[in-house]
Structure 1
Amino acid sequence: MKNQTIMNRKSAKKLLMVQWSRFQNVCIELEGSTLVTGVNGSGKSTVLDAMTYLLTGNTQFNKAAKDRDRTVLGYVRGDTRSNGEARYLRNGSVVSYIAMEFSDPTLGQPLTVGVCIESPSESGKPVSSWFICPGAAIDDIDFTRIEGNALRITPKNELTVNGEAMKLSSFMGRDRGTEAVLRALGLRVDAVKYRTKLLKMMAFNPENNIDQFIQDCVLEPGKVQSLEELREQKRQFERLRELYESLRQGKIQLEEVLRQSDEYEKKKRVLRIRELMLSYQALREKEEEEKQTKNRYQALKDQYGRLTERAGELARQQEAAQERLRIAENNDMVKGMQESLDSLKRQIEEADREKKNWEDKLAQILKLKKKISALIKLLEADLPSLSSENTYLETLEQADGETAKKREAFDAFREKVHRQDGIYEENKIHLQDQCKEREKEIGALQEKIRRLESNILVFPAEVENARNKIQRGLEKQGIQTEVHIFAELVQEVTAPEWRKAVETFLGRKRFYIIVDGAHCHKAMQILQKERIYDGNVVITDKLPETEAVEGSAAEILRIPNVYARRYANYLLNGIHLCENLEELHEYPKGGLMRDGMLAKSYAVAMMDMRRTELCLGADAIRCQLEQSRKELEELQVVQRADKEALSQVIKYRDAIKEIDWDGGHYDFGAAYGLKDCKKRRDSLVKDREEIEANPDFTAVLKELETAGRLAREANESVNQNQSELGGCKNDLKGCEGTLGRISTEIYLCQKAYEEKCLVNMELKEAMLEEYNRESEKRGTIRVTTQLSIDKSKNMLAERERQLEDAQLAYCRLAGIDVGKRGIGYIPWYREEYRNLAHVKVEEAQQKLQEQAGRLESAFMNDFVAEIDENVREAKREMDAINRELRHMPFGNDTYKFVMKEKPDRALFFRICRRLEKYMSSPQVYMNSARDDEEMENDIQEFMSIILAEEDEWEYTDYRRYFSYDMEISSRQGQTEITAELSKKQGSASNGEKQTPYFIILAASLLQCYPANTCCARLAFIDEAFSALSRERIEQMVRYFEENHFQVFYAAPPEKINSIGQFIDSTVSLIVTGRYTNAVEGLVKQA
């Protein structure tokens, strides 16, 4: 070959190795491409390693032989790999140099680059310092000199160039030094990439698999470093998913606990209703007994009437006997005298009857006086002054005073009492209505307290009904999502002193319904379809995403749920919390003070916070419970007072009704009549006694004895009837006693029932409805028994056991104390559920969604973007190599790389093609609406495949996304034949197989050497052309030379004839003792 200057190549002229392996101080002349030859172990690869270390910092020494034991330290120390003290050629502190001299045809002056390697000890790491000497040849630098018979190596700090000492700043570390060396040689390429390409050609090992060869030797390794970050994000996601799943399972179990708790409380409610019913039933039974006793009493009264009627018949019989007696008595002897006696007797009897009549009337007057006196004492606080009437009312039973005045006093008193009774009637109706309404309030309040004590947050019934309807409507459509009330999603009010003002401002909005944004429209449809008038659904999917404004009312609410948070920000971000009126004045659009002063829309008002019931925050139940208990106590105090007042009014009215107020039923002159009647009777008795004392009258009475006997018999019959009348009368008295006893028992039953009602006021109405329904159905008063209640108690005990089993299951699932069991822990579990369902699950779900976003972001923005960029870079490099190959024919053949997407990577390429709509930027897509369902499915599927793959190289190395081949176009005459290299592997010779691989590597390396730039064009081939024929070797050498490569070949001596004759120079390495020297061959002349 003709030795000529190539104007676009900086050619290496000399190589100096000082204390490098077996080379003690060897300088090799380099003329163009050079063959380095020698027997095995002479150091052929060592020479190539020295040059690649200098040029690129390569430490993968002797890569062709895959010798991994060679190191910089070993080369500097001269490691012979023998045993004993003589293993190293050099001991102590060692300084080594590698230097190469280049010629620059554009400047016409030399350039020397080198590296100084200092090894202070056999165990210490060597320190390498690169340097560049423009315009200087190797001989101009005093690397070594002979002192006596010894070779002295110049230390780095004493090194001179043309007699001038080098500055310490001229020495550089590996990265900076190799970059500077490559720039000095005219190369504008990454040192790592350049080193890789040099090593691939130097350690050339042809594969039968062209696909694998192109991956390994042409393309740069492309392991994506973001995989570990992606996996870390996946681990974080899985950890959060496990946490979320654990919380979700806990929530499901807690729902079971709450279901069992509700069932228990339902059974307990049934039991309480039955116990209350039993008490009410006892009262009804006593009332029924009273009714039956009254019926018997009425029957006895009827019997008494019949006996009274019989008494009349007997009286007539008695009258007949008396008539016989009268005939006997009508004897003329006694007639005259008897008529006088009879007349007196009749007058006396008439006087007795009149006296009895007056006594009855006077007794009636005495009763009236007692009742009036008692009534006056009872009503003295309500009746007006009675001074004018008292004089007469107090002497009704006395014979003094005017009768007319007494009647007038009675009538006046009656009018006053009737007026007051009208007032009492109005008060009674009013008090009864108040008590009835308040009884309902107390019942509702007691039910509310019971729910609160069970740790159930109480919301307005109509809101709960609306929530339940929407929940059921969504479930019917197969949508499993929570329907919340805004208030229950507020976990904490961080500034409690502002709570009442903020809640008063929010008002009914606290009870608006919150559903997941994805199901908001469905909830709206249910609201419309079901005609739900008492529920407000927040349009969550349209709420703006904002942060809580500092100093606003929104800032003091801690809300994990994302939609409730947005709604709170929307409502309260514009309401500034003001400490005083002056500050409120500065916020006319929206300001709030603790005392309820509100500024809104340039107007200020004082809110009424007195009746605001607190609903926000985890302690809302405690606050509601305290407030409800206080309200209940106040209501009960008022109720007791009203009931006492009602009882008093009824007592007053009963006392009034006890008096017969018809003045015509009383004879206010009875005392006078009785006194006069007694006086007349006494006079008649005196007259009769005087007649009966006459002796003549005694004789005529004997006849009368028989008639008297008969009369006596008649009298006995009358007496017998009278006896029966007395028995009936006694029975009547007995019934009256029984009625009195029953009345007492009714009173006690009524009292016991009312006491139970007072405790279970909320159950009274439900109990009465059920009792009336069952009583009507069975046709009897008795609808329940103690046995039934005992059964209910057993069922309640079974429910309690099931509840404890559910609680135990949750304790084990959540890993908490298994002692938290029993009905006493129902409120605790409700609080736990509220914290879990409304806080922890929400937070975990939110964190999981955020982590899913980070995972997808890491996958798309890091992993996919990095793979995509590597793929694009590989395609650009392949296109560049193909452009070079079009201009680099090898004989009649031209070569072209072919890259085909692998079918099993279709997901990746489909994602990348879809990303073209988003400027090929994953980040742009991730920030878009992401409404491409197919794209989302592809992302999830591909990410799952990546994260499930055990061989991390399988998807992180972009090279594995393609299959590779080389297309060979051969011109045979006028015909061009195209074939793929992979299909020729079986039939081609070794030389034919190797040639395309060299061309591939040369084309790849040529990318570092621009044709229009003057730069070094180096290539290194170790164990060169081992399978090529002489003809192929000549073709390859010519190919390299035509493309202006300066190639350094390393081959054994037997290759000198087949390789050496086609290149510019040959260097033979000769081993002398423990060292190696170089013998330079003759430079070929043209």
Structure 2
Amino acid sequence: MKTGREAATMWLRTITTLNWANLPNGTHELAQSVMLTGGTGAGKTTMLDAMQTLMTAGHQDLCTFNAGQDEAKGRSRLKKSRTLASYVLGCDDGPFARPEGAHAYIIGRFEPGPGEAGEPFTALAGFTARLVQDGGERIARTEDELFLVVGGEPLGLEDVTDSQTDEGRLGERLVVATKDLPAHLRFNYPDRPIEPAVSKTEYLQRLYGALCGLRSISESKARNAAKQFARFMVYKPIQHLDQFVREEILEPMDLSEQIEDVSELMQSIQRMRDEAARIKEGVGYLEAADGAARRTIETVADRELVRLEDAWREWRCVERRALMLGEEAERLEQSMQETEHEIRGLDAQLRQLGNRREALAQQSRGSEVVQQKLRLTNQQETQAANLDRAVARLKDGNQHRDRAYDALAPLAKEVDRPESWLPPAEGEPPDWQRLFSRAVQGDSWRGFALSDLIESQSYEALLDQESSVRAIEERYGRVAEAFAHHQEGIRRRYFECKDTLEGLKREAGEHEAAIEQIEQSGRVRYRPSTQRALELLSQNLPECEPRVLCDYIEVSDEHWQLAIEGLFGNRRFDIIVGERFEAAAIDLINRERRRVGPGVSIIQGKRARELAERPGREPKPDSIVHLMRFSDPVVEAVVRANFGDVVQVADSQALTQTPRGLTLEGNASSSLRMFVTRVEESDLVFGEGARRRSIEAKRRRLKEIEREEREAEVRMRSARLWNQALDSVQRPKLIEPFEEVIQEQMGLEETEQQLKALDLSGVEEILGEIDSLDQEIAAARERHGEAMGRRGEIRQERQTNADSRTAAGNKLRELTTRRDECREQIEAMRRINAEGGDWEGALARIAQSLDDTTRAIAVPPDQRLPQLYANLSSSVTHFNGCGLYDKRVALPRATSQASAIEAFRELTLVHREIGATLTSLRDHILAENHEQLEDASRRFNETFIRDVCLKMNNCINRGKDVLTTLNQELRRQTFGDEYYQFSWNWRSDYRRYAEFFERLAEPGQMMGNLLLFDEEGMSPEDEAIFDRLKGMLLDQDRNRGMKELRRLTDYREYRTYDIEKCFVHSERKPISLKTYGTGSGGQLETPSYIVRSAALATALGWSQGDTHLRFVMIDETFEKVDVSRSKEVIQYLTEVLGVQMVFALPDGRSGPLHDSVDMLIDVSKIPAPEGIGELKEKVYLQKSILNRERVEALFREERARARERVSYNLDLKFAEGLDEQAPVRRVNDGAV
């Protein structure tokens, strides 16, 4: 039907398909209104998709196959989506009609209505597809495409086939390959321009340009026209008017690239700001390191000056002592001469006295009485000597008894305790308590004054103790025998308790030392082998800068600390050296392996860095690496290379299926095995938090050790008592010497009685002389002995003096050497760092103060230098951890005094390197960073305003313009006395952003009048909005930030929308469709098609130019709409708008619409006994031309007959119902 419009209306007159799905190959003419009907899956939508492919070039962003079905809205796991290639190969739920590959063509002939102006033309789309094997699945892939727009005579099947035999595929003709078709057409039509489109976009420009009577149109217009055409085909019930307008009417504006550019600029600026902050942080560390280095240099110099002053003062002290020793040697020489002279005089006197006594003895030899007295005197002397020896032996035995008593008395109390330890016994154990108590309580000699009794010669009282002595010796003897049988158990117990106690004390000392080291230096204690290796490398290969891996790792989540460090194990103490020294370092460790010890490893830093930089070696998203922070790039590379694929696992069950994983509890998996890996909290070393936890754990362990030590001391006290008793208790030898004492004393008394009985009256004079000479001789001998003793003492003093003088001389020479060495070291330090201090003044003060008690140089505290080294190392380590432009400062090594020159030289070099690095960072790099930051800020300002603010402001305004244009089109499309129009309002939460974009889009802002990072140049409202935008641009969750930015840059979201029903010849107010209707949504269907038609009319330019396309497709939309509204829409589109319409409906819904269409095409599937490829069915099309007036008359007649039948049946049923109810009513009446 014609619309009466003057412009030419282009319709799709014919559609030709070749190898398209399972449709029969051929050309199909189309009327103005065509209804495709048939059973589910018969192929109705396949025909529509052929037309859609022709109108959209099968463009992925424009074309939606099977648009009216559920698979267009969501992908099923079981059913495969239709694709262009699957259509070409004739796929039907898995099997293919053309599995060996095929060429397919869709040809559409567009012509104006009869008598209308306009140039007819043919559009052709050709495709080549093949099946490919992907694993165990066959996948259809498109290999070639061809698009043509050709004027003049129509093209048909004969134009895309050749007369050569095609193995019966198309009779006697062969389908021309898409790549060969242009040449084929040029050969057959040499006078017609055959120019294939180079792209789908160019084809759409030509197609929609030809539909408008032009050669081509712009890309945006062509894409918009194709999009609106395809969008009209898809049924989407209106759930929300806002959503309908945003998705169906307004075109989205993709600012993703602009947002990415702006985001990258913002990220770059933020990186520059972070870099500036890092530089400032590094400068702060360097300034702290500079101060620490300066103080350390001063302290090292002071310590050397102190060593010089100490050596000089000691030299002066030894010099004074050497002088005193010389004076003492002269005095001793004089004393020796005097003593020698005295000894010679006494020797002469003793010879004279001896001669005189010998003469008297010769005179007395003739007297029997004298001889008897001399014999008894000698016997008395012998008996006295024997008595002394017996008394000594008795006293010794008594001392053994005392020691046994002292050892057994506390042990007897110890064994009384119920929990007391007793030696294990193989047989019947002795009654220790009875043995000890009998020995201790029966010891009557405890406190016995034996010495007094012997000296008083009370031998009668001593004789009374004989029975006690025997009992005491016997009891202690039994105890000694019992100890001898249990010696091994007692010793073992003692040494076990001793080892336990010493181990606890040693452990406590180690913990205290570790706590002190961590608190003073901030560094953990390494393993002994690691410490020895560090010292070895520092001494022999100092330029390799050895350091330990654990000092550069920190665990960010303390809950994972124990598990992660347990997984690392001893690898925490791997040593890092400079890449050039790795081979030399491991060779040195190998040579000195006996000295260093086992378990020392050198990290392959260069290889680790290369592995970390390889593509695809990034740690997994849930890797434990993300739980750690690193202050050294080599350490980070090593950890990433070794542990990047170790993932965090929730529990042990999940761990069983994890190649490399770690649970919070410390269970791990690797190499097809699972294992437990943890460390004690006191052994933690990763990071400051670990050191703090380590100290706390060590302190807790110290408290436990103190408790265990108290318990061990109790056990040790008991074991010590048993061990002391084992050493002290033996059988005391008392009886034998006791009897000898009694016997000798009795003989001595008898000899004295015999001496008293002698008659010495005749020899008294000579005996008196002899006694007098004996007294003189004894006195002389005493003086002689004293002189000899003095001579020995003087000789000893002389030897001591000589040794002291020799030692003093040696010491002086040693101190002289040491003093000279100190001066040489100080001179070397002065040459290394002349500006390091007042060297000459310090030396002068030292020389002047040698005899004073006040020192010239103050002695630095012992802990000062280690603390300064720790502060310097900490500052340098923190700076190196910043990783600023590959700038690193070598870590200083705290060397001993023996290498003070090396330490001073290294400190000076480090100090100078710190100064140079500080100057470079502060005066050059930081300034350059500031300039780059300003430049990047200006570029961001321009880009953000140009690519975001201006475009957003234009889009927001253009959205309003689009709706205004559509309202103009809608005003021309009346539906009876009604028409529809759009209305819109701002969304309050978006309006502030729109105003922000509008203000920044004002002229001049992009030229630098406003700097977005200059907070003073923005209002508080704009600053708040810009801060929110910055937060999105810098969001660490990239997806979240970009999602929010895409929402804010979707101009369609800035307004709320409504469609209003207006009245042409009435003053009634427009009715909002948001609040109008029953809520079922049906009343929105007619307006939705009117609005969609207006959108399509705008896209296709119905109100512009002389020629335009009036052709739409609808896929099973009317299945979801009631019949009356379906007819209204069909009538509106075909009769009011003059649109050619092709739509599809299932059989069950198509009957009532037969009177509304001009053509009916019934699509069905029938068996194909011969088979078509892998298929057993083929599609059959039956086309019918309908006389709408005759069909409508038949429908009226049938409806009249149906009403008569229904009326008759209702009357009959009503009469029967009255007859059936009468008896019941009577029964009820009777009951009442």
TM-score by length of 1: 0.48
Task: Tell me: higher relative CO, structure 1 or 2? Use CA pairs within 8 A at least 6 residues apart.
Answer: 1
